[in-house]
Structure 1
Amino acid sequence: NKILHPKTKVMLLQEIEEIRRNGSAPIVVVDAALLVESGFHREFDRLVVVSSSTENQLQRLVQRDTLTREEALARIAAQWPTEAKLAIADYRLTNNGNLEELRAQARRVFMESHSQTILTWEEQRLEQATSGADRGVGLRIRLGETAYYASGNSVDPPSVRALARSLASSLTGSASCAPRPFTPRDAPPRSIVRAHPADVPLPEKVALLERADAAAREADSRIVQVTASYIETARSVLVANSEGIYETDATCYLTLAVSVVARQGDQIRAGYEVVSETSGFEMLDRARPEEVAREAARIALLQLSASPAPSGTFTVVLSARAGGTMVHEACGHGFEADFIEKGLSVYAGRIGQKVASELVTVFDDGTLPQKRGTNRIDDEGTPVSKVVLIEEGILRGYLHSLRTARKMDMRPTGNGRRESYRHLPIPRMRNTCIAPGETPPEKIIASVKEGIFVADIGGGEVDIVTGNFVFHCSEAYRIRNGVIGEALRDTMLTGRGPDILASIDMVGSDFGFNAGTCGKDGQHVPVSDAQPTVRIPSIVVGGTA
C-alpha cells in the first residue's frame, strides 16, 4: 500500500483534472475503501460514508472474498472505526439492506451550488471585483395540483431532514407514494468547457477588460466613457424525485459586455455589445475583447451622425443580427405551457392551426452547444430537447415542465427551469429561434423600395400575455430603392408579436444569435434567441423626424 497508494493518488487526480477540463462529466465519484485512512478524502468536495453493521460486514466479506471469520475481523480492524469516519462525513448512508433500500435514502435530495465572479472596469481602472458562492436545497411535495415548497441554504443531511419534516408538518392528512427505481436518462453533455475560468489567474481576466477599454478609446476621440464587465458563473445541480429521476448537471457561463458613451457637442450617444455562452475561457479566443469593444464604439459613434427616424407605417427588414429578440419577447412566452393552461396565451387550444406565415418555423432548442440557454437537463431532471413550436406556420407544441406536461397529457420537453434552489421550476424558454429559409438576405433588402432596415434591437417594453411590444432599435437605416441608406436614430417598432409572425413574407438564409437574461414571475434565467433576416411588409415605426 505504501508503494501503490501515492502513485494511484496521482493518477486519479490527473484523470479527475482531465474530466473537469473537458467537461465530459458533471460530477466525479471515487469509491475507495481506504479513502479516509489515506487522507485522500481531503482532495474532494464532499465525503459520503456508507456504513453497515459489523455483522453485515463480516457476512459480506466472508461471502465475497471467501475469507474466514477471523480474517474478515482482522481486515475490519485494520481500518478506521466506522464512528470516526461518520463523524467527518458530509453524507451518511446505512447499507444494512438491499440495493433498492440504499437508493431510497437518496431520493429526497435536490441541491444547487452557484459561484460567481464579477469584474467591472470603468474610468480606466478596475472599479469592482466581487466573488461569491451560494448553495442550498429545495424540497417539493405535490398534493394533486398543489405544490408545497421549502428551501434552505444548508445541505448537510440533518438540516435537510429537518427541512423535510418542517415541510411535511405543514400538510394535513396522510398520503404515500411508492418510489420508482432510478432510471438513467439519455442526456449527454451539450456544452464543452475546455479552459475553466476558475483556473485562469485574476490578473489575466483584468487584462482583458483593460484591452477592451483601450480598443474602444482608440476608435475615436469622441469616446468619453467605457465600461467593460466580465462575469463567470459556475452552477451545479442535483435533482432527485420519487418518480425515478436522479440526475446531475454542471454549467459554466461566461459573459463579456462593453458599454461605450460617445459625445459630440451637446449630443451624447451610447453603444453596447455583449457575448455570453455556456463556455470556458476559450470563448474569448473567438470573441476577442478588442472586437467586442470596437463594435460597441461603432454603434455609439454611428448614432452621433444618424438622422432622426421617420414616423409612420413602413416595410421593415429585420436583420439576423437582431438575433430573434422579437420572437422571444413578443411571442415566446405565449408558448410556455403555464400561460397556455391559464388561457392567457393567444396560442391556447390552437395546436394544429395556422398561427403564422407558412414561411415561419419556430423552435426552442436546449441542446445547442455553447449557447446561453443550453444545459444537459432542466431543473426537474428532464433531458433538454429541441421543441418545434411552429412548423411552416402551423402550431405544433408548447414548452413544458413536469407539472404542465402531466396536466395537459403531453411529454415533458426539458423546459422546467428555476432561477435557484429558492424557486419552484416553471416552463421557460431556452434558445428560441426562427428557422432560416432559402432567400439570400441581399435579395430581401433589394426587394424593398421604401422602408427601414433594423440591424439590431435594444431594449423595450412587452406585454408577455398579449404580445404587444414597443422596441427600441439600437441600429437602423433607411432603405431606398433596394439600397441601405443613411443611419437612423431613436427608431421604435410597435406592434403585436403574433401578428408580425403571421405577416412575414420573406425569410433569409442567414442566421444570427443574441444572448440575454429572461425575466418571468420574479425569476431570471439565461437564454439566447436567433433568427434569419426577415421582411415584415407593414409595421408601425416611431421616430422623431
Structure 2
Amino acid sequence: MSDTPFRPFDTLLDREAALASLHAATRGADDGEIFLERRRAEALSFDDGRLRTASYDASEGFGLRAVRGEVTGYAHSSEVNEAALARAVETARLAVGAGGGTLAAGPAATNTRLYTDADPIAGAGFPVKIDTLRDIDAFARDLDPRVVQVTASLAASCQEVVILRPDGQELRDTRPMTRLTVSVIVEQDGRREQGSAGGGGRLGMGGLIAPAEWQAKTREALRIALVNLRAADAPAGVMDVVLGPGWPGILLHEAIGHGLEGDFNRKGSSAFAGLMGQRIAAPGVTVLDDGTIPDRRGSLTFDDEGTPSGRNVLIEDGILVGYMQDRQNARLMGVAPTGNGRRESYAHAPMPRMTNTYMLGGDASPGDLVSGMKDGIYAVGFGGGQVDITNGKFVFSCTEAYRVRNGKIGAPVKGATLIGDGATALQKIRGLGNDMTLDPGMGTCGKQGQWVPVGVGQPSVLIGGLTVGGSAA
C-alpha cells in the first residue's frame, strides 16, 4: 500500500468509464453508487511480559450497488480495474431487471471536517509502540504486587473512501482510528480477578501513547480488578438499578438503539414499529444518534452512501420522533435519510446503523438517584451481553457493580446480570443524573455479520424493577 492519497480515478480506473459503468448498472434503478476503499490496519498485543502478536493488513477494492425498491444488487472486488467493474455491472443488473425507477437525488455536499486525515499508523514508530506496551506492563506490575498478568494492545487503522454517484458527484473521506486497551489480572489468597480499561477514537497515535494517558488507563484497569477481588456474590431478584454514566450506555445501544434503525421498523420486526409519535419512554428521556461529534469513534463526515452525518433525535421527552435511516429505507418509508447508511467495508452493502448513540442528562445528582434506593444494584461497568433485536430482550453481565442498601453504596458484587427488555426498561426510568458522559471510545457493533465502530453514552440512570441475575439469595 502506498502512503500517497487514495485517488483511484487517477491510477486505477478511468473516471468517465467508471461513471458509464455505473450508469449501465443503475439504468431503471432508484439508487446506486460505486464505493471504493483503501484500508491499512496495524495491531500490537503485549501479554505477560512479551510481544505476543503484531499484525499489519492492507486492502483495497470496490463495491457497486444498484437499488430498485426493496431489492439490492451488489457486487464487489478486490481488483480495481475496468474488467472487474464490468463483471460487477452484470451482477448488479440482475436486481434491477427491466427497471422502471427514477434515480433519487444525490446527497447534499458538506465541507465539514470532524477528524484529522493523518494516518495514525505513521504517528509513531514501531519501536516506540513496543516500548510503550512494555512500559505499561512494567508500570502495572509496579503499582501492586498482586498483579500477576498484564495484557496491553495498541491498534490503529486508516480507511480512505471514494464514493462515485450516478450524477457524477464524487465524495472523498479519510477516516483514522486508534485504540488502546489495558487488562490486568490480580491474585490474592488463590483468587484471581480481572479489570480492563481503554479508549481511543478518530485520533492520532500521539495522544494514546503519552505516559499520562496510558498510566491513567492502567490505573483504572487495576482499580476495577481490585474492586472485583473483594466482591461478594451478586443478589438475585427484581430490584431497582442505577446505571453509571458513559459506557453503561452500551445497554441503551443494544436494547433500544437497534430497534430504532429504519430497516427493522419498515419491516415491522422492531418492538417500536408503528409507534412514531407515541410515548415509548418515561418523561424526560431524550435519546439521540449523533455522528457529528468531532474525533469520536462513531463519527463520520458523511456515511457510506455519501449522506452527511446528522445529530438525529430519536426519542424526545419520552416520545418516539425518529428512526435512523439509510437512503433505501428512507425512500421506502417516505422520509429523509439521516446519515446512518454504514458498511463494514467495500465488500458489504450499506444498511441503517448507529453512530454515537446516547441519552441526554437530567437534573438529578447521581448521589440523589442512589439515596432513594432501599435495596438494589449500582452498575458501573458492563461486559458481554445478548440481545434479541426484534423485541429488545437483553441479558448483560456487569464487570463492576455494587450492592445498595438504604441509599448507601456498599460492597462490590460479582456475577451480576441485568435481564429485561428495552421497551419496558425505557418506561421504568425514574431518574436521570446530571452527569451525562460519552464512553472512552471502545465500542464495536455487529449487525447481520457486519462490524462497525460506534460510540455510546448516558448519564446515571435509575431504573425501577429490573431483574438481576446472581448467585446469592
Q: Report the TM-score when normalising by structure 1.
A: 0.79
1:281 CA drift (Å) = 1.7
Partner of 1:144: 69
Partner of 2:88: 163
Determine if contact 2:302/2:309 at 8 Å carries over to the other structure.
yes
Tell me which of 269, 275, 295 is aligned to 1:344: 269
Q: Secondary structure at the match of 2:133?
A: helix
**One-letter amino acid of the counterpart of residue 189, structure 2:** G
1:218 aligns with 2:142: yes
Cα displacement string for residues 191-250 of structure 1 (whole angstroms, at most 9, x for unaligned residues):
236783323211111122112212221222221111111110111111122256421211
Q: Equivalents in 1 of 2:411, 2:275: separation in Å?
A: 42
Q: 1:141 to 1:487 in 2, by over 3 A?
A: same
Q: Secondary structure at the match of 1:500?
A: helix
Cα displacement string for residues 462-483 of structure 1 (whole angstroms, at most 9, x for unaligned residues):
1121111111111111223322
Cα displacement string for residues 124-155 of structure 1 (whole angstroms, at most 9, x for unaligned residues):
11111110111110011223321111000011
Determine if contact 1:183/1:244 at 8 Å carries over to the other structure.
no
Q: Which one scores higher on RCO, CA 8 angstroms, separation ≥ 6?
A: 2
Q: Equivalents in 2 of 1:328, 1:470: separation in Å?
A: 13
Tell me which of 395, 398, 404 is aligned to 2:320: 395
Tell me which of 387, 390, 414 is aligned to 2:339: 414
Q: Secondary structure at the match of 1:109?
A: strand
1:251 aligns with 2:158: no
Q: 1:456 to 1:172 in 2, by over 3 A?
A: closer
Q: Name which of structure 1's ranges 413-422 and 535-544 shifts more when overlaid on structure 2.
A: 535-544
Partner of 1:534: 461
Partner of 1:90: 12
1:373 aligns with 2:298: yes
Determine if contact 1:322/1:454 at 8 Å carries over to the other structure.
no
Unmatched 5+ stretches in structure 2:
26-31
User: Which runs of structure 2 are paired with 1:485-496 in the superposition (5 Å)?
Assistant: 485-496=410-421
Q: Equivalents in 2 of 1:181, 1:305: separation in Å?
A: 60
Determine if contact 1:182/1:246 at 8 Å carries over to the other structure.
no
Q: Name which of structure 1's ranges 454-463 and 279-288 shifts more when overlaid on structure 2.
A: 279-288
**One-letter amino acid of the counterpart of residue 369, structure 1:** P
Q: Name which of structure 1's ranges 234-243 and 365-374 shifts more when overlaid on structure 2.
A: 234-243
Cα displacement string for residues 85-113 of structure 1 (whole angstroms, at most 9, x for unaligned residues):
xxxx5333579xxxx99x98999632011
Q: 1:244 to 1:504 in 2, by over 3 A?
A: farther
Q: Equivalents in 1 of 2:168, 2:211: separation in Å?
A: 41
Q: Equivalents in 2 of 1:414, 1:330: separation in Å?
A: 21
Q: 1:181 to 1:382 in 2, by over 3 A?
A: closer
**One-letter amino acid of the counterpart of residue 12, structure 2:** D
1:331 CA drift (Å) = 0.8
User: Which runs of structure 2 are paired with 1:111-126 in the superposition (5 Å)?
Assistant: 111-126=36-51
Tell me which of 218, 239, 263 is aligned to 2:163: 239
Q: 1:343 to 1:203 in 2, by over 3 A?
A: same
Q: 1:231 to 1:288 in 2, by over 3 A?
A: same
User: Which runs of structure 2 are paired with 1:363-512 in the superposition (5 Å)?
Assistant: 363-512=288-437
Q: 1:287 to 1:498 in 2, by over 3 A?
A: farther
Q: Name which of structure 1's ranges 469-478 and 511-520 shifts more when overlaid on structure 2.
A: 511-520
Cα displacement string for residues 136-189 of structure 1 (whole angstroms, at most 9, x for unaligned residues):
100112233211110000113343234324543x46854477878977612511
Q: Name which of structure 1's ranges 138-147 and 249-258 shifts more when overlaid on structure 2.
A: 138-147
User: Which runs of structure 2 are paired with 1:4-403 in the superposition (5 Å)?
Assistant: 46=7, 89-92=11-14, 109-168=34-93, 170=94, 174-175=98-99, 185-192=109-116, 196-242=120-166, 245-284=169-208, 285=210, 288-403=213-328
Q: Equivalents in 1 of 2:136, 2:39: separation in Å?
A: 27
Q: Equivalents in 2 of 1:42, 1:366: separation in Å?
A: 27
Determine if contact 1:114/1:135 at 8 Å carries over to the other structure.
yes
Q: Equivalents in 2 of 1:108, 1:353: separation in Å?
A: 36
Q: Name which of structure 1's ranges 221-230 and 399-408 shifts more when overlaid on structure 2.
A: 221-230
Q: 1:47 to 1:500 in 2, by over 3 A?
A: closer
Partner of 1:516: 443
Q: 1:192 to 1:45 in 2, by over 3 A?
A: closer
Q: Equivalents in 1 of 2:241, 2:104: separation in Å?
A: 54
Q: Which has the larger radius of gyration?
A: 1
1:287 CA drift (Å) = 6.7
Q: 1:105 to 1:269 in 2, by over 3 A?
A: same
Higher fraction of strand: 2
**One-letter amino acid of the counterpart of residue 487, structure 1:** P
Cα displacement string for residues 403-429 of structure 1 (whole angstroms, at most 9, x for unaligned residues):
000000000001011111111101011
**Alpha-carbon RMSD:** 2.8
Q: Secondary structure at the match of 2:72?
A: strand
**One-letter amino acid of the counterpart of residue 297, structure 1:** L
Q: 1:166 to 1:504 in 2, by over 3 A?
A: closer
Q: Equivalents in 2 of 1:217, 1:454: separation in Å?
A: 27
Q: Report the TM-score when normalising by structure 2.
A: 0.90
**One-letter amino acid of the counterpart of residue 217, structure 1:** R
Unmatched 5+ stretches in structure 1:
1-40, 50-88
Determine if contact 1:179/1:244 at 8 Å carries over to the other structure.
no
Q: Equivalents in 2 of 1:137, 1:195: separation in Å?
A: 21
Percent identical among aligned pairs is: 38
Q: 1:358 to 1:116 in 2, by over 3 A?
A: same
Q: Secondary structure at the match of 1:288?
A: helix
**One-letter amino acid of the counterpart of residue 121, structure 1:** F
Determine if contact 1:212/1:292 at 8 Å carries over to the other structure.
no
Q: Equivalents in 2 of 1:42, 1:317: separation in Å?
A: 48
Determine if contact 1:187/1:377 at 8 Å carries over to the other structure.
no
Q: Equivalents in 1 of 2:370, 2:104: separation in Å?
A: 57
Q: Secondary structure at the match of 1:296?
A: helix
Determine if contact 2:117/2:174 at 8 Å carries over to the other structure.
no
Q: 1:105 to 1:186 in 2, by over 3 A?
A: farther
Q: Equivalents in 2 of 1:183, 1:453: separation in Å?
A: 44
Q: Name which of structure 1's ranges 523-532 and 142-151 shifts more when overlaid on structure 2.
A: 142-151
Q: Equivalents in 1 of 2:56, 2:420: separation in Å?
A: 41
